[in-house]
Structure 1
Amino acid sequence: MTSPDPSSSAPRPEPGPEHAPRYADRVYRSGSALLGGAVLLGLAGWIGIDALVRGTGRTPWLALAGLLLVVPLVVAFTFRPAVFAGEDRLRVRNPFRTITLPWGTVEGVRASYSSEIFAGGRKFQLWAIPVSLRARKRSARRSARNAAADDTGRASAAVTGPDRAPGDEAVTELSELAERHARRETAQGEPEVRWAYEVLAPSAVGAVLLLVLALIG
Protein backbone atom coordinates (compact mmCIF):
# COMPACT_ATOMS: atom_id res chain seq x y z
CA MET A 1 0.00 0.00 0.00
CA THR A 2 1.36 3.37 -0.94
CA SER A 3 1.42 6.15 1.60
CA PRO A 4 -0.56 9.27 0.79
CA ASP A 5 1.31 12.19 -0.63
CA PRO A 6 1.64 14.73 2.20
CA SER A 7 1.48 17.57 -0.29
CA SER A 8 -2.01 16.50 -1.34
CA SER A 9 -3.40 17.10 2.16
CA ALA A 10 -1.64 20.41 2.69
CA PRO A 11 -3.89 23.46 2.53
CA ARG A 12 -3.71 25.29 -0.76
CA PRO A 13 -3.25 29.06 -0.75
CA GLU A 14 -6.23 31.14 -1.70
CA PRO A 15 -5.85 32.72 -5.16
CA GLY A 16 -4.86 36.33 -4.80
CA PRO A 17 -5.07 39.07 -7.44
CA GLU A 18 -1.77 37.94 -8.94
CA HIS A 19 -3.14 34.38 -9.32
CA ALA A 20 -6.61 35.36 -10.50
CA PRO A 21 -7.61 33.93 -13.88
CA ARG A 22 -7.26 36.29 -16.80
CA TYR A 23 -10.04 36.68 -19.30
CA ALA A 24 -10.21 37.91 -22.87
CA ASP A 25 -10.82 41.59 -23.41
CA ARG A 26 -14.41 42.75 -23.61
CA VAL A 27 -14.86 44.19 -27.11
CA TYR A 28 -17.30 46.93 -28.13
CA ARG A 29 -18.01 47.56 -31.83
CA SER A 30 -20.83 48.98 -33.92
CA GLY A 31 -22.63 46.34 -35.96
CA SER A 32 -24.23 48.93 -38.23
CA ALA A 33 -20.81 50.44 -38.98
CA LEU A 34 -19.43 47.03 -39.95
CA LEU A 35 -22.37 46.39 -42.25
CA GLY A 36 -22.11 49.84 -43.83
CA GLY A 37 -18.37 49.40 -44.32
CA ALA A 38 -18.84 46.09 -46.10
CA VAL A 39 -21.37 47.67 -48.48
CA LEU A 40 -19.14 50.68 -49.19
CA LEU A 41 -16.05 48.54 -49.78
CA GLY A 42 -17.98 46.30 -52.14
CA LEU A 43 -19.23 49.29 -54.09
CA ALA A 44 -15.81 50.97 -54.22
CA GLY A 45 -14.13 47.74 -55.26
CA TRP A 46 -16.66 47.06 -58.01
CA ILE A 47 -16.39 50.55 -59.51
CA GLY A 48 -12.64 50.97 -58.96
CA ILE A 49 -11.52 47.58 -60.23
CA ASP A 50 -13.77 47.86 -63.27
CA ALA A 51 -12.19 51.23 -64.08
CA LEU A 52 -8.70 49.81 -63.56
CA VAL A 53 -9.32 46.88 -65.89
CA ARG A 54 -11.46 48.47 -68.60
CA GLY A 55 -10.52 52.13 -68.37
CA THR A 56 -8.42 53.94 -70.95
CA GLY A 57 -6.14 56.95 -70.81
CA ARG A 58 -5.94 58.44 -67.35
CA THR A 59 -8.95 56.51 -66.06
CA PRO A 60 -6.95 53.62 -64.52
CA TRP A 61 -4.69 56.11 -62.72
CA LEU A 62 -7.67 58.04 -61.43
CA ALA A 63 -9.26 54.80 -60.27
CA LEU A 64 -6.05 53.77 -58.49
CA ALA A 65 -5.75 57.14 -56.77
CA GLY A 66 -9.40 57.03 -55.77
CA LEU A 67 -9.06 53.55 -54.29
CA LEU A 68 -5.93 54.55 -52.37
CA LEU A 69 -7.79 57.53 -50.93
CA VAL A 70 -11.22 56.04 -50.30
CA VAL A 71 -10.61 52.45 -49.16
CA PRO A 72 -8.44 53.31 -46.11
CA LEU A 73 -10.93 55.99 -45.06
CA VAL A 74 -13.85 53.57 -45.31
CA VAL A 75 -11.93 51.03 -43.24
CA ALA A 76 -10.95 53.72 -40.74
CA PHE A 77 -14.50 54.89 -40.08
CA THR A 78 -16.30 51.53 -40.21
CA PHE A 79 -14.12 48.48 -39.48
CA ARG A 80 -11.37 50.06 -37.40
CA PRO A 81 -13.27 51.67 -34.47
CA ALA A 82 -13.34 49.33 -31.47
CA VAL A 83 -12.97 49.48 -27.71
CA PHE A 84 -11.08 46.69 -25.91
CA ALA A 85 -11.66 46.60 -22.15
CA GLY A 86 -9.16 44.39 -20.30
CA GLU A 87 -8.28 43.92 -16.65
CA ASP A 88 -5.49 46.49 -16.63
CA ARG A 89 -6.30 48.97 -19.36
CA LEU A 90 -8.73 50.22 -21.96
CA ARG A 91 -7.64 50.34 -25.58
CA VAL A 92 -9.64 52.73 -27.74
CA ARG A 93 -9.20 52.31 -31.48
CA ASN A 94 -10.59 55.36 -33.28
CA PRO A 95 -10.38 56.08 -37.03
CA PHE A 96 -6.94 57.71 -36.94
CA ARG A 97 -5.59 57.02 -33.46
CA THR A 98 -5.21 54.21 -30.93
CA ILE A 99 -5.41 55.35 -27.31
CA THR A 100 -4.26 53.07 -24.49
CA LEU A 101 -5.61 54.09 -21.09
CA PRO A 102 -4.62 52.27 -17.89
CA TRP A 103 -7.70 52.03 -15.69
CA GLY A 104 -5.95 54.06 -13.00
CA THR A 105 -5.92 57.11 -15.29
CA VAL A 106 -9.63 56.95 -16.22
CA GLU A 107 -11.53 59.78 -14.58
CA GLY A 108 -14.96 59.16 -16.04
CA VAL A 109 -17.03 57.88 -18.95
CA ARG A 110 -20.17 59.57 -20.24
CA ALA A 111 -22.62 59.44 -23.12
CA SER A 112 -24.38 62.64 -24.14
CA TYR A 113 -24.51 63.27 -27.89
CA SER A 114 -21.41 61.08 -28.24
CA SER A 115 -19.56 58.62 -26.02
CA GLU A 116 -16.56 60.16 -24.28
CA ILE A 117 -13.92 59.06 -21.81
CA PHE A 118 -11.85 61.34 -19.59
CA ALA A 119 -8.34 60.27 -18.65
CA GLY A 120 -5.14 62.05 -17.70
CA GLY A 121 -6.88 65.42 -17.91
CA ARG A 122 -7.89 64.82 -21.54
CA LYS A 123 -11.08 63.84 -23.34
CA PHE A 124 -11.27 61.10 -25.97
CA GLN A 125 -14.16 60.10 -28.21
CA LEU A 126 -15.34 56.49 -28.33
CA TRP A 127 -16.17 56.06 -32.01
CA ALA A 128 -17.02 52.38 -31.55
CA ILE A 129 -19.88 53.21 -29.14
CA PRO A 130 -22.25 55.52 -31.02
CA VAL A 131 -25.06 57.27 -29.20
CA SER A 132 -28.46 56.92 -30.85
CA LEU A 133 -31.01 59.44 -29.65
CA ARG A 134 -33.71 57.38 -31.33
CA ALA A 135 -32.67 54.25 -29.43
CA ARG A 136 -32.52 56.28 -26.23
CA LYS A 137 -36.08 57.54 -26.73
CA ARG A 138 -37.27 54.05 -27.62
CA SER A 139 -35.71 52.67 -24.43
CA ALA A 140 -37.33 55.45 -22.40
CA ARG A 141 -40.74 54.56 -23.82
CA ARG A 142 -40.12 50.88 -23.06
CA SER A 143 -39.17 51.74 -19.49
CA ALA A 144 -42.35 53.75 -19.10
CA ARG A 145 -44.43 50.85 -20.41
CA ASN A 146 -42.66 48.41 -18.08
CA ALA A 147 -43.30 50.70 -15.13
CA ALA A 148 -46.97 50.98 -16.06
CA ALA A 149 -47.22 47.20 -16.44
CA ASP A 150 -45.63 46.68 -13.03
CA ASP A 151 -48.10 49.11 -11.45
CA THR A 152 -51.10 47.36 -12.92
CA GLY A 153 -49.70 43.84 -12.50
CA ARG A 154 -50.26 43.01 -16.16
CA ALA A 155 -46.73 42.66 -17.53
CA SER A 156 -46.73 41.28 -21.06
CA ALA A 157 -44.17 40.28 -23.67
CA ALA A 158 -44.81 43.51 -25.55
CA VAL A 159 -43.17 45.57 -22.83
CA THR A 160 -40.25 43.32 -21.90
CA GLY A 161 -36.67 43.82 -23.03
CA PRO A 162 -33.69 46.01 -22.14
CA ASP A 163 -34.61 49.40 -20.72
CA ARG A 164 -31.44 51.20 -21.84
CA ALA A 165 -30.02 52.11 -25.22
CA PRO A 166 -27.02 49.96 -26.24
CA GLY A 167 -24.64 52.93 -26.17
CA ASP A 168 -25.73 53.97 -22.68
CA GLU A 169 -25.44 50.37 -21.48
CA ALA A 170 -21.89 50.09 -22.84
CA VAL A 171 -20.86 53.36 -21.16
CA THR A 172 -22.29 52.12 -17.85
CA GLU A 173 -20.30 48.88 -18.16
CA LEU A 174 -17.10 50.81 -18.87
CA SER A 175 -17.70 53.06 -15.86
CA GLU A 176 -18.14 50.00 -13.64
CA LEU A 177 -14.97 48.40 -15.02
CA ALA A 178 -13.03 51.61 -14.38
CA GLU A 179 -14.18 51.71 -10.75
CA ARG A 180 -13.46 48.00 -10.26
CA HIS A 181 -9.94 47.97 -11.70
CA ALA A 182 -8.67 51.51 -10.97
CA ARG A 183 -6.67 50.44 -7.88
CA ARG A 184 -4.99 47.44 -9.46
CA GLU A 185 -1.23 47.71 -9.27
CA THR A 186 -0.93 46.66 -12.89
CA ALA A 187 -3.53 49.23 -14.00
CA GLN A 188 -1.35 52.27 -13.41
CA GLY A 189 0.62 54.33 -15.92
CA GLU A 190 0.14 57.13 -18.40
CA PRO A 191 -2.19 57.37 -21.42
CA GLU A 192 -0.54 56.49 -24.71
CA VAL A 193 -1.66 57.76 -28.11
CA ARG A 194 -0.49 56.30 -31.40
CA TRP A 195 -1.45 57.62 -34.83
CA ALA A 196 -2.75 55.08 -37.35
CA TYR A 197 -0.16 55.64 -40.08
CA GLU A 198 -1.33 52.47 -41.82
CA VAL A 199 -4.52 54.41 -42.61
CA LEU A 200 -3.10 57.89 -43.07
CA ALA A 201 -0.21 56.97 -45.38
CA PRO A 202 -2.13 55.32 -48.26
CA SER A 203 -4.87 57.96 -48.08
CA ALA A 204 -2.24 60.69 -48.33
CA VAL A 205 -0.64 58.96 -51.32
CA GLY A 206 -4.02 58.72 -53.02
CA ALA A 207 -4.78 62.40 -52.35
CA VAL A 208 -1.39 63.48 -53.73
CA LEU A 209 -1.82 61.31 -56.81
CA LEU A 210 -5.26 62.80 -57.46
CA LEU A 211 -3.82 66.29 -57.09
CA VAL A 212 -0.98 65.54 -59.51
CA LEU A 213 -3.39 64.10 -62.07
CA ALA A 214 -5.60 67.17 -61.75
CA LEU A 215 -2.66 69.53 -62.22
CA ILE A 216 -1.26 67.81 -65.31
CA GLY A 217 -4.74 67.70 -66.85
Structure 2
Amino acid sequence: MTTQPPSSQPPAEPAYADRVFRSSMAIAGGVLLLALGGWLGGDAMVRGEGRTPWLALAGLLLVVPLVVAFTFRPAVFVNDDRLRIRNPFRTIVLPWAQVADVRASYSSEVITQSGAKYQLWAVPVSLRQRKKAARQQVRKSQDDPHGRTSVTASVDDKARVAPADQTIADLREQAERCGRLPGAQGEVKIRWAYEILAPSLAGLVVMIVLLATG
Protein backbone atom coordinates (compact mmCIF):
# COMPACT_ATOMS: atom_id res chain seq x y z
CA MET A 1 0.00 0.00 0.00
CA THR A 2 1.37 3.37 -1.04
CA THR A 3 0.82 6.58 0.86
CA GLN A 4 0.35 9.99 -0.64
CA PRO A 5 3.04 12.52 0.27
CA PRO A 6 1.77 15.40 2.35
CA SER A 7 0.78 18.41 0.30
CA SER A 8 3.11 21.37 0.50
CA GLN A 9 0.28 23.84 -0.13
CA PRO A 10 -1.33 25.43 2.92
CA PRO A 11 -5.00 24.65 3.47
CA ALA A 12 -7.37 27.15 1.92
CA GLU A 13 -8.77 29.67 4.32
CA PRO A 14 -12.51 29.40 4.87
CA ALA A 15 -14.55 32.00 3.00
CA TYR A 16 -16.96 33.93 5.16
CA ALA A 17 -20.03 35.68 3.81
CA ASP A 18 -20.18 39.44 4.01
CA ARG A 19 -22.21 41.13 6.68
CA VAL A 20 -24.91 43.11 4.93
CA PHE A 21 -26.61 46.25 6.23
CA ARG A 22 -29.87 47.45 4.67
CA SER A 23 -32.77 49.69 5.59
CA SER A 24 -35.92 47.62 6.12
CA MET A 25 -38.06 50.77 6.00
CA ALA A 26 -36.67 51.69 2.58
CA ILE A 27 -37.37 48.20 1.23
CA ALA A 28 -40.94 48.31 2.54
CA GLY A 29 -41.42 51.72 0.94
CA GLY A 30 -40.04 50.40 -2.35
CA VAL A 31 -42.51 47.52 -2.38
CA LEU A 32 -45.43 49.92 -1.87
CA LEU A 33 -44.20 52.35 -4.54
CA LEU A 34 -43.67 49.61 -7.11
CA ALA A 35 -47.10 48.14 -6.39
CA LEU A 36 -48.73 51.56 -6.75
CA GLY A 37 -46.77 52.39 -9.91
CA GLY A 38 -47.54 49.02 -11.46
CA TRP A 39 -51.24 49.41 -10.74
CA LEU A 40 -51.51 52.95 -12.12
CA GLY A 41 -49.18 52.38 -15.06
CA GLY A 42 -50.72 49.05 -16.00
CA ASP A 43 -54.21 50.53 -15.90
CA ALA A 44 -53.11 53.43 -18.12
CA MET A 45 -51.53 51.09 -20.65
CA VAL A 46 -54.56 48.79 -20.80
CA ARG A 47 -57.36 51.37 -20.73
CA GLY A 48 -55.62 54.48 -22.03
CA GLU A 49 -56.21 55.91 -25.46
CA GLY A 50 -53.97 57.67 -27.98
CA ARG A 51 -50.52 58.35 -26.57
CA THR A 52 -51.50 57.56 -23.00
CA PRO A 53 -50.28 53.93 -23.05
CA TRP A 54 -46.93 55.02 -24.49
CA LEU A 55 -46.59 57.81 -21.94
CA ALA A 56 -47.39 55.33 -19.17
CA LEU A 57 -44.78 52.92 -20.49
CA ALA A 58 -42.17 55.69 -20.70
CA GLY A 59 -43.08 56.82 -17.19
CA LEU A 60 -42.63 53.32 -15.79
CA LEU A 61 -39.32 52.98 -17.62
CA LEU A 62 -38.19 56.23 -16.00
CA VAL A 63 -39.60 55.78 -12.49
CA VAL A 64 -39.19 52.06 -11.71
CA PRO A 65 -35.35 52.05 -11.91
CA LEU A 66 -35.26 55.15 -9.70
CA VAL A 67 -37.51 53.53 -7.11
CA VAL A 68 -35.26 50.45 -7.13
CA ALA A 69 -32.17 52.66 -6.87
CA PHE A 70 -33.34 54.52 -3.77
CA THR A 71 -35.08 51.65 -1.93
CA PHE A 72 -33.83 48.17 -2.83
CA ARG A 73 -30.34 48.93 -4.10
CA PRO A 74 -28.66 50.72 -1.12
CA ALA A 75 -26.64 48.26 0.95
CA VAL A 76 -23.34 48.05 2.81
CA PHE A 77 -21.28 44.86 2.54
CA VAL A 78 -18.54 44.27 5.10
CA ASN A 79 -15.77 41.72 5.54
CA ASP A 80 -12.24 41.81 6.99
CA ASP A 81 -10.74 43.11 3.74
CA ARG A 82 -13.00 45.90 2.61
CA LEU A 83 -16.14 47.96 2.92
CA ARG A 84 -18.37 47.91 -0.17
CA ILE A 85 -20.96 50.68 -0.34
CA ARG A 86 -23.80 50.29 -2.81
CA ASN A 87 -25.56 53.63 -3.14
CA PRO A 88 -28.36 54.54 -5.60
CA PHE A 89 -26.09 55.33 -8.54
CA ARG A 90 -22.62 54.17 -7.53
CA THR A 91 -20.80 51.27 -5.89
CA ILE A 92 -17.70 52.22 -3.89
CA VAL A 93 -15.20 49.59 -2.76
CA LEU A 94 -13.02 50.81 0.11
CA PRO A 95 -10.20 48.63 1.47
CA TRP A 96 -10.06 49.18 5.21
CA ALA A 97 -6.60 50.76 4.89
CA GLN A 98 -8.25 53.60 2.94
CA VAL A 99 -10.85 54.32 5.66
CA ALA A 100 -9.93 57.19 7.97
CA ASP A 101 -13.23 57.43 9.85
CA VAL A 102 -16.85 56.31 9.85
CA ARG A 103 -19.28 58.74 11.43
CA ALA A 104 -22.93 59.74 11.61
CA SER A 105 -24.36 63.20 12.22
CA TYR A 106 -27.45 63.94 10.12
CA SER A 107 -26.32 61.24 7.67
CA SER A 108 -23.92 58.30 7.80
CA GLU A 109 -20.67 58.70 5.92
CA VAL A 110 -17.21 57.25 5.41
CA ILE A 111 -14.14 59.47 5.17
CA THR A 112 -11.09 58.18 3.31
CA GLN A 113 -7.44 58.87 4.00
CA SER A 114 -7.45 61.37 1.11
CA GLY A 115 -10.41 63.27 2.60
CA ALA A 116 -13.10 62.03 0.22
CA LYS A 117 -16.54 61.43 1.73
CA TYR A 118 -19.08 58.77 0.75
CA GLN A 119 -22.54 58.55 2.22
CA LEU A 120 -24.01 55.28 3.49
CA TRP A 121 -27.55 55.35 2.08
CA ALA A 122 -28.24 51.93 3.62
CA VAL A 123 -27.65 53.27 7.16
CA PRO A 124 -30.10 56.17 7.54
CA VAL A 125 -29.89 58.29 10.68
CA SER A 126 -33.11 58.64 12.65
CA LEU A 127 -33.23 61.61 15.01
CA ARG A 128 -36.35 60.13 16.62
CA GLN A 129 -34.47 56.93 17.51
CA ARG A 130 -31.60 59.01 18.89
CA LYS A 131 -33.97 60.94 21.13
CA LYS A 132 -35.57 57.70 22.29
CA ALA A 133 -32.15 56.22 23.12
CA ALA A 134 -31.20 59.40 25.00
CA ARG A 135 -34.39 59.23 27.07
CA GLN A 136 -33.63 55.62 27.95
CA GLN A 137 -30.14 56.58 29.11
CA VAL A 138 -31.51 59.40 31.26
CA ARG A 139 -34.12 57.05 32.73
CA LYS A 140 -31.41 54.51 33.59
CA SER A 141 -29.32 57.11 35.42
CA GLN A 142 -32.37 58.25 37.39
CA ASP A 143 -33.33 54.68 38.33
CA ASP A 144 -29.85 53.99 39.73
CA PRO A 145 -28.40 57.26 41.08
CA HIS A 146 -25.54 55.40 42.85
CA GLY A 147 -24.16 54.07 39.55
CA ARG A 148 -24.53 50.40 40.43
CA THR A 149 -24.05 48.02 37.50
CA SER A 150 -25.05 44.45 36.78
CA VAL A 151 -23.90 41.66 34.49
CA THR A 152 -26.46 42.79 31.92
CA ALA A 153 -25.18 46.37 31.81
CA SER A 154 -23.33 46.03 28.51
CA VAL A 155 -26.37 44.49 26.81
CA ASP A 156 -28.60 47.23 28.18
CA ASP A 157 -26.18 49.93 27.01
CA LYS A 158 -26.31 48.61 23.43
CA ALA A 159 -30.10 48.56 23.60
CA ARG A 160 -30.03 52.25 24.53
CA VAL A 161 -28.09 53.26 21.40
CA ALA A 162 -29.86 54.19 18.17
CA PRO A 163 -29.47 51.37 15.58
CA ALA A 164 -27.69 53.59 13.05
CA ASP A 165 -25.22 54.82 15.68
CA GLN A 166 -24.54 51.24 16.77
CA THR A 167 -23.88 50.21 13.16
CA ILE A 168 -21.49 53.13 12.69
CA ALA A 169 -19.68 52.20 15.91
CA ASP A 170 -19.31 48.60 14.69
CA LEU A 171 -17.94 49.76 11.31
CA ARG A 172 -15.51 52.16 12.98
CA GLU A 173 -14.26 49.39 15.28
CA GLN A 174 -13.75 47.05 12.32
CA ALA A 175 -11.90 49.74 10.36
CA GLU A 176 -9.48 50.18 13.28
CA ARG A 177 -9.09 46.42 13.71
CA CYS A 178 -8.65 45.44 10.06
CA GLY A 179 -6.90 48.48 8.60
CA ARG A 180 -3.41 46.93 8.80
CA LEU A 181 -4.27 43.47 7.52
CA PRO A 182 -2.50 42.46 4.27
CA GLY A 183 -5.81 41.83 2.50
CA ALA A 184 -7.16 45.25 3.49
CA GLN A 185 -4.69 47.21 1.33
CA GLY A 186 -5.44 48.66 -2.09
CA GLU A 187 -7.07 51.58 -3.84
CA VAL A 188 -10.61 52.92 -3.81
CA LYS A 189 -12.73 51.63 -6.70
CA ILE A 190 -15.90 53.30 -7.96
CA ARG A 191 -18.40 51.88 -10.42
CA TRP A 192 -21.45 53.71 -11.79
CA ALA A 193 -24.76 51.83 -11.81
CA TYR A 194 -25.40 51.91 -15.54
CA GLU A 195 -28.12 49.29 -15.12
CA ILE A 196 -30.09 51.99 -13.27
CA LEU A 197 -29.05 55.04 -15.25
CA ALA A 198 -29.55 53.64 -18.75
CA PRO A 199 -33.24 52.62 -18.55
CA SER A 200 -34.16 55.77 -16.62
CA LEU A 201 -32.48 57.94 -19.24
CA ALA A 202 -34.20 56.00 -22.01
CA GLY A 203 -37.59 56.50 -20.36
CA LEU A 204 -36.91 60.21 -19.95
CA VAL A 205 -35.92 60.59 -23.62
CA VAL A 206 -39.03 58.71 -24.82
CA MET A 207 -41.29 60.81 -22.60
CA ILE A 208 -39.73 64.08 -23.84
CA VAL A 209 -40.16 62.97 -27.47
CA LEU A 210 -43.80 62.01 -26.91
CA LEU A 211 -44.61 65.26 -25.16
CA ALA A 212 -42.74 67.36 -27.72
CA THR A 213 -44.49 65.71 -30.68
CA GLY A 214 -47.92 65.66 -29.10
TM range (shorter): 0.7 to 0.9
1:203 alignment partner in structure 2: 200
- Give RMSD over aligned pairs: 2.2
Match of 1:164 among 140, 161, 166: 161
Q: Give the alignment of 1:1-217 within 5 angstroms.
A: 21-121=14-114, 122-151=116-145, 162-217=159-214
User: What letter matches 2:160 in structure 1?
Assistant: D
Q: Which runs of 5+ in 2 are unaligned?
A: 1-9, 151-155
User: What letter matches 1:210 in structure 2?
Assistant: M
Give CA deviations for 1:36-79 in whole Å, capped at 9, x if unaligned.
00000000001111111221110110001000010000000000
User: What letter matches 1:144 in structure 2?
Assistant: V
User: What letter matches 2:143 in structure 1?
Assistant: A
Q: Which runs of 5+ in 1 are unaligned?
A: 1-15
1:151 is paired with a residue whose SS is coil
Query: C-alpha separation between the residues in 1 aligned to 2:165 and 2:159?
Result: 11
1:80 is paired with a residue whose SS is coil
Shift, 1:97, TM fit: 0.2
Structure 2 length-normalised TM: 0.87
Query: C-alpha separation between the residues in 1 aligned to 2:164 and 2:59?
Result: 34
Query: C-alpha separation between the residues in 2 aligned to 1:192 and 1:170?
Result: 23
User: What letter matches 1:135 in structure 2?
Assistant: Q
2:6 alignment partner in structure 1: none
1:36 is paired with a residue whose SS is helix
The alignment-based identity, stated in percent, is: 59
Does the 8 A contact of 1:120 with 1:191 survive in 2?
no
Query: C-alpha separation between the residues in 1 aligned to 2:31 and 2:141?
Result: 40
Runs of 4+ in 1 over 6 A off after TM superposition: none
Structure 1 length-normalised TM: 0.86
Query: C-alpha separation between the residues in 1 aligned to 2:168 and 2:53?
Result: 46
